[in-house]
Amino acid sequence: DAMVIQNPRYQVTQFGKPVTLSCSQTLNHNVMYWYQQKSSQAPKLLFHYYDKDFNNEADTPDNFQSRRPNTSFCFLDIRSPGLGDAAMYLCATSRDALLAGERTQYFGPGTRLTVL
């Protein structure tokens, strides 16, 4: 089945210890997104890729970086996690299409990050 996969589902790290979250997709979508969602809050867009073009949100801290080595994979690197970075990290994909329905975002299951 075509899908968006995130690994790991749960990640525990120590304060300041770098961590990498991964996302892969079999939908062949050219747009990939990373969102941060804290408890009882809306998903907050960190950045997204149109193909290889990286688009960073203005308020995304420098502590967050991303890599997209190919169409299928995208990584979120947190260089020095702080306690405030504990959250659910959601990867989503979409097609860059003219029709609104074809530009729908599809989410992976998320990675819950705990910072000790």
Partner 1 sequence: QKEVEQNSGPLSVPEGAIASLNCTYSDRGSQSFFWYRQYSGKSPELIMFIYSNGDKEDGRFTAQLNKASQYVSLLIRDSQPSDSATYLCAVRTSYDKVIFGPGTSLSVIP
Binding site for partner 1 (CB under 8 A): 33, 40-45, 88, 90, 100-101, 103-110, 112
Q: Nearer Cβ to partner 1, position 64 or 89? A: 89
Helices and strands, counts by H and E, the chain: 0, 11
The DSSP letter of residue 114 is E
Q: How far apart are the C-alpha atoms of 24 and 14, rounded to whole Å?
A: 25
Q: Nearer Cβ to partner 1, position 45 or 86? A: 45
Give min distance, CB of 31 to partner 1, in A.
10
Cα four-point dihedral sign 73, 40, 9, 80: positive
Give min distance, CB of 27 to partner 1, in A.
13
